A and B are shown apart, each in its own frame.
Chain A
Amino acid sequence: MANSVQTVRLPQTLRRPLRVPRFLVAVLRFCRRKPLGAIGAVLVVGLIVMAVFADRIAPYSYDESVPGSRMKPPSARFWMGTDNIGRDMWSRVVYGARISVTVGFATVALTTVFATIIGVSSAYLGGAYDIVVQRVVDAWMSFPALVIILSMLAALGPGLLNLILALSILGAAGTSRVIRGAALSTMQNPYVEAARALGSGHARIIFCHVLPNVTATIIILATIGLGTVILAESALSFLGFGIPPPYPSWGGMLAGSGRSFMYYAPWMAMFPGAAISLAVFGFNMFGDALRDLLDPRLRSGGGRPIG
């Protein structure tokens, strides 16, 4: 229907999609096929930007009391109102994103490292080692997540690093199971046997043949784990076992003064609560969409949710 003369005459704008870089095409296709995933991705990016540029975005410091403005409702000056000692809630919510993002990414990174070591070694070595390790993982997984993590935090003491450590040890058990499964099925492939026949060492087989083939599983588990970890962090801060008070974390803001003053200043509880929900929603949607696109076999399951 379109002859060449017409094509030449087409305005510049109509031909532009052809020049769009590949990466953008992929992003556009992702948005069209998974609109909810795209919303999730926007939320995730927004959260990361908020965390990285917190000191630029927030109009006040997180612990700065503005004189004469205690428990002011949301207004043009204080977008989310102020709390019981006159701190700007919007600034505190923005700084709170730092905790969520730091804990989220650090925990998931550490979980992945632990889980990969446990899962791949268990699958590769097999035998007695596998049996013993899997029984320990069984025992570890039969505790409710929150109970185990509370006991661990009690043991380690509060603080950012301990929180990250405890959450990643907790998450590693379930994640290692899935990675072990993926590694086991990879090792069934003839190319692993071929590599062994060619005289490859254990390290070579693990790093060049097994690991690259479980990477997709690992990436998907990590993305889905982020939402769970952020939820867990806020739940722990809510119970008072998270980040110690002067620094704002969403769960902590909701728990302490947020709960005691919520009848007089509902905004003190509402906005941190909304922030947690939006962040978790974003990571869940993005992770789900990514999983559907990357690996349709992993439809159900994944990490253990934390109540």
Chain B
Amino acid sequence: MRTYVLRRLLIAVPSLLIASLIVFTLPRLIPGDVVQLMLEEKAYGKDLEDLRAKLGLNRPIPVQYLEWLGRIARGDLGESLWTRQQVLGELARRLPVTLTLGVMAIAVAILIGIPIGILSAVRQDGVLDFFARSAAILGLSIPAFVTAIVVILLPAIWWGWTPQVRFTELSKDPAAHLLQFVLPAMILGIASAAGLMRLTRGMLLEVLRQDYVRTAWAKGLRERVVVLKHSLKNAIIPVVTILGLQVAQIAGGAVIIEQIFGLPGMGQFLVEAIVQRDYPVIQGINLLVVVIIVSTNLLVDLAYAVIDPRIRY
């Protein structure tokens, strides 16, 4: 197990390096010069060259890349070109917001998707199955931002109630802080729940037709034991794989949901940074996201061993 984790981490290194190169190069391809933009909007330095030197943007790009890598190794993500604030500090402030949103969304996806998928498979072609499948199709087709707007709009039309857009800090009012995530997380989680439900149902249907399940029934085991203990364990592995992929999807969806609900998370930060061509911020966010996703993939692989004892590392 330990050697496996070490080997996986080693394999992740080249992937991370390539990713870091992509992360570094992409924002630099932005047409238009950030220095020009800064000079026009705010007089930061004497002239273009002076400002460029101050920001360290006058050296060759490979040199900038190596320096950047070196600083990352020391835990320094640089500072924002505009606000001169430490990117790491700003990320540390915003990451909890996005993490809360993401974890709650995944919880919604699991709590709705998997149980309904199981029920749907056990009572195949029943009433619940029909409604669950129809709802899943809708959930997959309606984009999160459309759902969000409808959810905000309908109460406003019917009862004149609009959600508040001011963000409550955790330190001020913990209950209100968590409460404001509920609606966005539900909306974000629904689409993933639909995918999980369809997959759980499909995999379970296949397993339920296998011989050992018939044996389990013949032994006179209760339905709960046959389904949850004998069948589900063998159906759940692809579901876990997809759950891992959903993390990436939810991270992307969070960008839009944060924008709509005014949550000061990383997505909002990223959109602002891209508009302002703030290289260090864009790089910092992208790098963090990549690290999160690579570690999720590792966790997913390790989860296989827990679920299925036949898998040994």
List chain A positions with a Cβ less than 8 A from chain B. 36, 135-136, 138-140, 142-148, 150-157, 227, 231, 234-235, 238-239, 241, 251, 254, 259, 262-263, 266, 269-270, 273-274, 276-277, 280-281, 284-285, 299-300, 304-307
Whole-angstrom distance from the CB of A10 to the nearest CB of chain B? 37
B104 CB, nearest partner CB in chain A, Å: 15
Partner of B191, one of A136, A234, A307: A307
Q: How far is the CB of A118 from chain B (nearest CB, A)?
A: 15
Task: Say yes or no: B137 contacts A306, CB within 8 Å.
Answer: no
A298 to B306, CA, bound (A): 27
25 contacts between A and B (CB under 8 A): A138-B15, A139-B290, A142-B293, A143-B286, A145-B249, A147-B255, A150-B255, A151-B274, A153-B274, A154-B26, A155-B28, A155-B29, A157-B32, A235-B256, A238-B145, A239-B271, A259-B149, A269-B153, A276-B143, A277-B143, A281-B141, A284-B140, A304-B245, A307-B144, A307-B253
Q: Which bracket fits the contact residues of B?
A: 35 or more
For the complex, what is the distance from the CA of A139 to the CA of B26, rounded to whole Å?
A: 14
Contact A280 B26 (CB under 8 A): no
Mask: chain B, 1-22; 1 = CB below 8 Å from A; 0 = not: 0000000000000111011001
Other 16 A-B pairs with CB < 8 A, given A154-B27, A227-B141, A280-B143: A140-B22, A142-B294, A142-B297, A144-B248, A151-B26, A151-B286, A154-B30, A155-B28, A156-B31, A239-B256, A239-B259, A254-B145, A262-B152, A263-B153, A266-B157, A306-B249
- Give the Cβ gap from B258 to chain A, nearest Cβ, in Å: 11
Least Cβ–Cβ distance between A184 and chain B, in angstroms: 20
Chain A residues within an 8 Å CB radius of B294: 142
Contact status of A238 and B256, CB under 8 A, knowing A155-B27, A300-B202:
yes
Which residues of the partner chain A approach B97 to less than 8 Å between Cβ atoms?
none
Please, which residues of chain A bring their CB within 8 A of the CB of B252? Answer: 144-147, 306-307
Q: Which residues of A contact B16 (CB under 8 A)?
A: 139
Choose one: B14, B245, B253, B293; the contact of A146 (CB below 8 Å).
Answer: B253
Interface class of chain A by DSSP: helix
Name the residue among A148, A284, A285, A304 with the largest chain B CB count within 10 angstroms: A148
Contact B274 A307 (CB under 8 A): no
Contact A280 B141 (CB under 8 A): yes
The smallest C-beta distance from B113 to any residue of chain A, in angstroms, reads 14
Supposing A142-B290, A304-B245 touch, asked if A235 and B270 sit within 8 A by C-beta, the answer is no
Q: List the A side residues contacting B238 at CB < 8 Å.
A: 300
Instruction: Report how far A276 CA is from B145 CA in the complex, Å.
Output: 11
Q: What residues of B have a CB within 8 angstroms of the CB of A135 in the complex? A: 14-15, 18
Contact A277 B14 (CB under 8 A): no
Q: Is B195 an interface residue (CB 8 A)?
A: yes
Q: Which residues of B contact A152 (CB under 8 A)?
A: 26
Interface contact A139-B19, CB-CB below 8 Å = yes
Is B199 in the interface zone, CB < 8 Å from A?
yes
**Residue A143 contacts which of B141, B199, B290 (CB distance < 8 angstroms)?**
B290
Given A280-B141, A284-B141, A285-B137, the answer on whether A239 and B146 have CB atoms closer than 8 Å is no
Find chain B residues with CB under 8 A from A148 CB. Answer: 286
In the assembled complex, the Cα of A277 lies from the Cα of B191 at a distance in Å of: 13
Residue of A nearest to B156 (CB): A263
Cα(A138)–Cα(B73), bound, Å: 22
Q: Which residue of B141, B145, B277, B290 contacts A235 across the interface (Cβ within 8 Å)?
A: B145
Q: With a CB–CB cut-off of 8 A, which chain A residues contact B254?
A: 307
A140 to B294, CA, bound (A): 12
Q: A154-B277, A157-B31 are in contact. Are A147 and B289 (CB under 8 A)?
A: yes
Chain A positions within 8 Å of B202 at CB level:
299-300
What are the residues of chain B within 8 A of A305 when measuring CB–CB?
A: 191, 195, 249
**With the chains together, A145 CA to B285 CA distance in Å?**
14
- Most chain-A Cβ atoms within 10 A of its Cβ — which of B202, B242, B253? B253
Contact assessment for B141 and A139 in the assembled complex, using a CB-CB cutoff below 8 Å = no
User: Are A276's CB and B146's CB within 8 A?
Assistant: yes
Contacting residues, chain A, for B286 (C-beta < 8 A)? 143, 147-148, 151
Which 6 residue pairs across A and B have the least CB separation, nearest first?
A: A307-B253, A146-B252, A155-B29, A281-B141, A307-B252, A144-B252
B208 within 8 A of A: no
**Complex contact B149–A139 (CB within 8 A):** no
- Give bound CA distance, A277 to B28, whole Å: 35
Beta-carbon nearest neighbor of B32 in chain A: A157
Instruction: Quote the shortest CB–CB distance from B65 to chain A (angstroms).
Output: 15
Q: How far is the CA of A262 from the CA of B155 in the complex (A)?
A: 12
Residue B197 interfacial (CB < 8 Å)? no
Which residues of the other chain, B, contact A300 by a CB distance below 8 angstroms?
A: 199, 202, 238, 242
| A-facing residues in B119-149 (Cβ within 8 Å) | 137-138, 140-146, 149
